[in-house]
Amino acid sequence: MSENIQETIVELINQASLYGKDSVRVQHLRHVQELILRKDPSLLDNFLEEVLGFQTDKSPEVRKTIISFIEEACQHDPEVIVKVIDSLRLLLYDDNVLVQKRLIVSMITIYRLTLKWLSKSRLVDENVRSMWESMVNMKIHIIAMLDSDNDGLRTVAIKFIEMLALVLSRRTQDSIVPASNEQDFSLNLLQDDHRILRRNKLEQEGKDVMEKLLEFTLSQHLSSVNLIAAMGAIANIARQRPDYMSRVVQTFEALQVNLPPTLVDSQVSSVRKIIKLKLLSLLKHPASFDFQPQITTLLTDLGATQAEVLKHLPKVPTESKRKITLSNSEINTKKSKMTTDDPSIFDKDDSNSSITGKGISTGGVHGSMMSSTSTNSSSSHPQHQTAIDITAADLVGKLSIGNVVDLVLVSMLLLPEKMPASFQATYTPIAAAGTPAQIEHLARLLGAQLTAAGHGKGYELMKSQQQVKPKIEDDIEEGNSIASITGVGRDDSFPSSSMDIDSKSALPSTSGNESSEIPTTSAGITTISTIPSVQQKKMKPFKLADAIKPIEYDEMQRMSTDSFYRILHAEDVCETAGVGHVRKKTMTSLVCLSERSFRDIYEDYIFADVRKRHDLAFAWLYQEFVYANGYLSILDPNKRKDFTKYDDTLCRLLEYLQEKPDQRDGLFSRLLSTAPLITDNALLVLKRYCQDETRSYLGMNTLRDLIFRRINMREKFLDILLDFTHNENVSVRNNAIRIAKSLHEKEEFKQSIERHALKFLKHLTASQPPEALFGDDKKSSTIPNDTWTEDSIRLCLPLYLSLMPSNHYLIQPLATIYTAVNGDIKRVILRVLEIPVRGMGMGSPEILKLVENCPKGAETLITRIIHILTEQTPPSRDLVEKVRDLYHKRVSDVRFLIPVLTGLEKREIISALPKLIKLSPPVVKEVFNRLLGLNASPETSHASPILPSELLIALHQISSEECELKTTMNATTLCLNERSIYTHDVLAVVIQQLVDVNPIPVLFMRTVLQALSFYPKMVGFVMNILQRLITKQAWKQVRIWEGFIKCCQKTRPHSFPLLLQLPPPQLKHVFQTAPELRDGLIRHLRSMSIAQRSVIPSSILTVIEDNSENVAPEIRIQTVPLPSSSSHEQ
């Protein structure tokens, strides 16, 4: 069954490959898809490459079908994603918009599958990492399509971003997920220690794409199609991820009054209907309870009836209502208590400042206009109010009847004479006009428009808060650290720093300098200490010196050390109490302020379980950086920056992490990536790490990350990486080249890397190796530094050669350098060319250009390149033409023709044979191997323009003027030794054709004797050839006659009847040359009957029976070396 399916698939693929109607070809490919993925999935690996070959087909419909195949294959086996990622990337950049749209739709499924597969996969190799990098790049490209000029592309990009927002977020208990998507991936399924996927990073990325989608929804240039798609996407996200409910409701609120001006009347009406439907669906959601006022008001404006609104209201459980009631009563109780304690807190004049003081987003002003991290409404949680909320709250009190009348009158001056049709179509009578709810809604609508235009109280407060809040947060953190450092206690009867207290009493002033924080803190302590009123009862002032005894220095050291140990081992207690961050801050501050004692203790504590306590090490490093810069006022404000301790701490941490046996946690890389400053000593540690053969892979990856992240030190890190590409250690060098090649694909690194590679290539023209190859940080002691050796030559080449397969133009400078170096360097270059030249391929325009414009002195380089290209592949027509022109017009060296022999015409090969066989024996052997198709695999074999028989005949016909006889003999011997090619049938054809040549070739009889030696069964055929030689009077050609006699000796007794046919003089000469033939012939005559002897001429019998030594007619004999019997056998 499986074999039948395979045959069917092969036939269908072949039919689809033929040119015909696209619909028929698509039908064939769909049939292939059904057979492979639904009937016999085991065949997927066998036919995957064949199917992917259609990805470059001219027909868009065929390419779309391939995308469908890839999508279904990934659904069947997610591991296929690694194999098809390059195809997906190619199709993403397709010229046809329909193909791009189809791919983005498929990427929605494939990206989701990729995350789900990676979250379960434990084996992560380099291929998987590369796949994920490509997937991330494709995701970025698709997101960027939101700015495309094509509406269709924007629509599918919106759907893709909707998927991203869902999979890169967590499900909650209130999430309403369709049954078809129950098994989809979400961040709940991802473990914290995944090797590739970082939950926090992905979650932040999900929030970012959601923000981008919301901003896109509010754009003023959207078409109705894109707007409807965006509204559907954000509504669906809010239903499945209630955390975004607040942002989505605010977006609809802003959109309702800021529709794009490009929409026509019918589109406006349609969009408003969609907004109404989406808001009704959100109103059904349990998480919309806190947003019902806003949603209900919006629905009312959009024309929804009260019955419709009530029908879609969610049912809130009784228990939830009770919790809400209790929460409101507690809030009211706290408010009344705080009002009693300090009535100024709720002063009307300060109401706005109290709102803004409790919660302003730290994002941008325009971004925070709509941003809110809370899922509750602004009325429930004022600490998360947005700019719109603040402006609306400010406007509510100002929307008096008089102000509204003035606004209406002013606005009437700008009204058109006729009511616009769009307004008339969308206007809904205002229900309950003048009520507080309607006034609040109107204030929110005005607030949204004012904030969008960059006006309003909320916008201004948000802008000022952005400038003040970072400073306030720094001062708060600084004040807390100072309190922990100086050991200031805190009475339990007073609120701790973690409690929610009024900002006026908790925050220090930001108008003064940093030193003003200490008096503020002291003032707080004074207030605490005056409550018991103990000091007023004493008769004399208290003096600390009178109450304490002096303590010895050693005792103080012991006590402080014991205290530090207690803090170290209070981890569980502090975590339980929720003050783990205070403990961490205290420890790092004490370590940074102390000398060596605490540092050593702290180090040992961290290194005892560095995987669990690495956050302490990072916090320590950051604290050292803060002190080194003199940011804290507790230190000497006039002290200059000193990074000695920071450098020592960073290097000690790196050295320990470097020596760790297990490097899988990546702490070494994380420390370098997150360190606020990388010192020169830290770079030395990094270099040692990269030079360790067992850690060089991770070290080079760390260098790559630093190059991307540390923009200000990018050139320094890149120089370090490029220096490693010439390292003597092969593992280190290969890892560095791997990273350099990946960086070279980025435009910002391309020139720097090529410039470095070319610089080292040019070093080869110097008289001795450069000092850069023998630096102190390179383990090159085994390579002499005063003269070029093969090892030192190879160190200058690998980076440049590794860039050539993807950057073909680099071969031109290589050829120029080649002409300027000495012979030893040229030989090394020729030996290492194979891999890069094969990577470039025969169709490279740069190679053809180099062959056409061969620099003087680079002939051997060109020959080697052509040899490599044609070793396993027949030469292309373009290459043959370039080489032919080079041979005939510029370089008449026949060696240039050897690589392209199989591409030449038969007459060209025959005319070049005399020159070719004059070359050295190994070269001649290669010539015959190419012409005879030897050493070629079945996949790469190809028809030679000349047959083996024609080649041997052409060798026999080479004249002595063109080539020496001995050279021709050696060439024919090389051919005849290929027994697999020159079988007895081929040799019979050759001999049969040569015997008809006039005159007979000189080497003819030599070939006959060799054929007889290789194939003794050819004796009958040879007798026929000798018979023809007698009729052609072979004795007239001395060399042929000598071969004839030699053949007669070898074929006894079969040759005796032939000897009887010779004329008497020739027979007598045979007997003189080979006397043993006479005896054999006499015995042959005696075995014949009288009747048989009677037909023999008497003259012949006389010659046979004549024992005289008469000499036959004189014949000039020239010595022709003929193979002896022993030599033939050999």
Residues 6 or more apart whose Cβ sits within 8 Å of residue 302:
256, 272, 275, 276, 279, 428
| pLDDT confidence of residue 683 | 92
As a whole number, mean pLDDT of residues 584-591 equals 84
Closest CA to 287 of 228, 237, 227: 237
Instruction: Looking at mean pLDDT, say which of 227-231, 419-423, 859-863 comes out highest.
Output: 227-231
Residues 1003 and 416: their CA atoms lie apart, in Å, by 111
Q: Are 974 and 959 in contact (CB under 8 A)?
A: no
The single residue listed with the structure tokens 């600390």 is 544
Name the most confidently modeled range: 63-77, 368-382, 857-871. Answer: 63-77
C-alpha–C-alpha distance, residues 142 and 121, integer Å: 26
Give the whole-angstrom CA distance, residue 357 versus residue 1020.
116
Higher confidence at residue 413 or residue 901?
901
CA–CA gap between residue 253 and residue 472 (Å, rounded): 33
CB 916 within 8 A of CB 898: yes
Return the higher-pLDDT residue of 1023 and 319. Answer: 1023
Could you give the CA distance from residue 305 to residue 917 in angstroms, rounded to a whole number? 101
Query: Model-level pTM greater than 0.85?
Result: no
Torsion of CA 520, 526, 531, 536, to 10 degrees: -150
Q: Give the pLDDT score at 431.
A: 63
Residue 422's pLDDT band, with cuts at 50, 70 and 90, is: low
Identify the DSSP state of 174.
T
CB 342 within 8 Å of CB 226: no
Q: What is the mean pLDDT of residues 217-245?
A: 91
d(CA 399, CA 442): 9
Task: Determine the Cα–Cα distance for residues 748 and 714; give it in Å rounded to an integer.
Answer: 11
- Extract the tokens encoding 1096: 């023999």
Backbone angles phi, psi at 710, to 5 degrees: -100, 85
Q: Is the pLDDT of residue 463 over 60?
A: yes
| C-alpha distances in Å from residue 760, one per residue of 6, 756, 802, 829, 1020 | 53, 7, 13, 14, 69
pLDDT value at position 443? 81
pLDDT tens digits along 84-108: 999 999 999 999 999 999 999 999 9
Q: How much is the pLDDT for 467?
A: 62
pLDDT at 423: 67
Give residue 872's pLDDT: 79
pLDDT of residue 897: 84
What pLDDT band is residue 453 in, cutting at 50, 70 and 90?
confident
| pLDDT, tens digit (0-9, with 9 covering 90-100), for 328-384 | 444 444 444 443 344 333 333 333 333 333 333 333 333 444 443 333 333 333 334
The predicted structure's pLDDT at residue 514? 37
The pLDDT confidence band at residue 179, using thresholds 50, 70 and 90, is confident
Provide φ and ψ at 917, rounded to 5°: -75, -10
Which residue would you say has higher pLDDT here, 612 or 333? 612
The answer for 1071, left when phi > 0, alpha when psi is -120 to 50, beta otherwise, is: alpha
- The stretch 56-85 carries a mean pLDDT of 92
What is the pLDDT at residue 317? 56
104: its two tokens: 């983005």
First to last CA, the chain: 54
Q: Quick one: which of 1024, 1090, 1032 has its CA closest to 1057?
A: 1024
Q: Give the pLDDT score at 531.
A: 35
pLDDT of residue 606: 85
Orientation angle between helical segments 245-256 and 436-452, nearest 10 degrees = 90
User: Rounded to whole angstroms, how far apart are CA atoms 773 and 793?
Assistant: 10
878 pLDDT more than 60? yes
Rounded average pLDDT over 64-78: 92
CA atoms within 13 A on the CB side of 580: 10
Taking the C-alpha atoms of residue 1029 and residue 1008, their distance in angstroms, rounded to an integer, is 12
Q: pLDDT tens across 1031-1047, in order? A: 888 888 889 999 999 99
Per-position DSSP letters for 890-918, written without gaps between them: T---GGGGGGGGGGS-HHHHHHHHHHHTT
CA distance 586 to 205: 33
User: Phi-psi region for residue 849, left (φ > 0), alpha (ψ -120 to 50) or beta?
Assistant: alpha
Q: Give Cα 763 distance to the centre of its chain.
A: 32
Rounded CA gap, 948 and 953, in Å?
Answer: 9
Taking 80 as the threshold, does the pLDDT of residue 524 lie above it?
no
* Residues 777/712, Cβ–Cβ less than 8 Å: no
Region 899-911 average pLDDT: 86
d(C-alpha 811, C-alpha 803), whole Å: 10
Instruction: Round to whole Å and give the CA distance between 151 and 309.
Output: 34
Q: What is the mean pLDDT of residues 397-401?
A: 81
The mean pLDDT value for 411-423 works out to 72
pLDDT band, residue 124 (cuts 50/70/90):
confident
Confidence of residue 471 (pLDDT cuts 50, 70, 90): very low
Q: Which of 724, 628, 708 is nearest to 672 (CA)?
A: 708
Taking the C-alpha atoms of residue 427 and residue 1123, their distance in angstroms, rounded to an integer, is 113
Report H helices in 890-1034: 906-916, 921-932, 948-956, 965-976, 984-994, 1004-1014, 1019-1031
Question: What's the mean pLDDT in 697-720?
Answer: 91
**Which whole number is the average pLDDT over 569-585?**
83
CA distances from 418 to 258, 414, 415, 1126 (A): 21, 12, 8, 120
Give me the mean pLDDT over the 563-582 stretch: 84
Q: 201-215, 283-297, 365-379, 870-884 — which one is most confidently predicted on average?
A: 201-215
Q: Is the pLDDT of residue 769 over 50?
A: yes
pLDDT digits (tens, 9 = 90+) for 915-948: 888 888 888 888 888 888 876 655 555 678 889 9
Give long-range contacts, CB 8 A cutoff, 24+ apart: 1035-1040: 1035/1066, 1035/1069, 1035/1115, 1037/999, 1037/1000, 1038/1115, 1038/1116, 1038/1117, 1038/1118, 1038/1120, 1039/1002, 1039/1005, 1039/1118, 1039/1120, 1040/1000, 1040/1002, 1040/1004, 1040/1005
Q: What percent of the chain has pLDDT over 70?
A: 80
Q: How much is the pLDDT for 775?
A: 60
- Summarize the confidence of residues 55-83 as an average pLDDT: 92
Is a pLDDT exceeding 50 seen at residue 1057?
yes
> Mapping DSSP to helix (H, G, I), strand (E, B) and coil, where does residue 19 land?
coil
**pLDDT at residue 690 greater than cutoff 50:** yes
Average pLDDT over residues 882-888: 84
Which residue in 732, 664, 659, 671 sits closest to 124, CA to CA?
A: 664
User: Tens digits of per-residue pLDDT, 1075-1086?
Assistant: 888 888 888 888
Instruction: Tell me 757's DSSP state.
Output: H
User: Across all residues in the chain, what is the average pLDDT?
Assistant: 79
The token pair that represents 168 in the structure block:
């890169």
pLDDT digits (tens, 9 = 90+) for 744-757: 999 999 999 999 99
Span 777-788, pLDDT tens digits: 444 456 777 788
What is the DSSP code (8-state) at residue 120?
H
The tokens describing 282, both together, are 């959100």
Tell me: pLDDT of 537 over 50: no
Measured between alpha carbons, how far is 839 from 82 in angstroms, rounded to an integer?
22
Assess whether pLDDT exceeds 60 at residue 1124: no
Supply 1035's token pair.
Answer: 């004795």
By three-state DSSP, how is residue 679 classified? coil
**Six token digits for residue 715:** 């050139």
Mean pLDDT, residues 5-13: 87
Task: Count Cβ atoms within 10 A of the Cβ of residue 988 and give its class: 0-12 exposed, 13-18 middle, 19 or more buried.
Answer: middle
Provide DSSP, 483-506: HHHHT----TTS--TTS---HHHH
State the pLDDT at residue 451. Answer: 79
Whether residue 652 contacts residue 602, with contact meaning beta carbons closer than 8 Å, is answered with: no
pLDDT digits (tens, 9 = 90+) for 948-992: 999 999 999 898 888 888 999 999 998 988 888 899 899 999 999
pLDDT-derived band at 161, boundaries 50, 70, 90: very high
Cβ–Cβ < 8 Å for 517, 631: no
CB 646 within 8 A of CB 628: yes
- Residues 732, 737, 740, 745: what is their CA dihedral angle, to the nearest 10 degrees? -150
Ordered by start, the domain boundaries in the chain are: 218-315, 317-346, 349-410+420-488, 1001-1013+1022-1130
pLDDT of residue 497: 35
> What tokens appear for 71 in the block?
């999508």
Listed range (532-546, 612-626, 1081-1095) with the worst mean pLDDT: 532-546
Report which of 877, 962, 963, 975 is spatially closest to residue 927, judged by C-alpha positions.
975
Structure tokens given for 145? 């399509």
